Amino acid sequence: MKFGIQINEGPYTHEASDTAYHFIKAALDNGHEIFRVFFYHDGVHNGTRLATPPQDDRNIVNRWTELAEKHDLDLVVCVAAAQRRGIADADEAKRNGKDADNLAPGFRISGLGQLIEAGVQSDRLLVFGD
């Protein structure tokens, strides 16, 4: 089965990000396909490279980066939600006159069309978080 995933919560706000991560790992381990992971609303905070959790805590951002690299996942951060929350890749930072970017490796910024495409191309679109 091919899944599209939407994550609406930040990495340390609720369990939505952890639950989505573990679901995706289990799905991939069982031969399913992940078409795209779309981070929306506060979920875009999963894509900041500046998150530095304590050493005894899980690093959810690094987990996403490693999972994307291992399985060639498409991790998409919503551009409008990211701009509202101060998350930018190099192009967005330059376009908006910012002096730095903070998008984590393995993530890319794009628009809602990517979420629509995930819904169309996937057998199921699962939403994690409010």
Query: What is the third-level CATH fold of 2-128?
Result: Hypothetical Protein Ychn; Chain: A, (3.40.1260)
CA distance 51 to 4: 25
Within 10 angstroms of residue 76's Cβ, the number of other Cβ atoms is 25
What mean pLDDT, rounded, does the chain reach?
97
Active site residues: 78
Task: Tell me the backbone φ, ψ of residue 33, rounded to 5 degrees.
Answer: -110, 140
What confidence score (pLDDT) does residue 9 get?
98
Full-model pTM: 0.96
CA distance 54 to 106: 22
In the chain, where are the structural domains located? Answer: 2-128
Percent above pLDDT 70 for the chain:
100
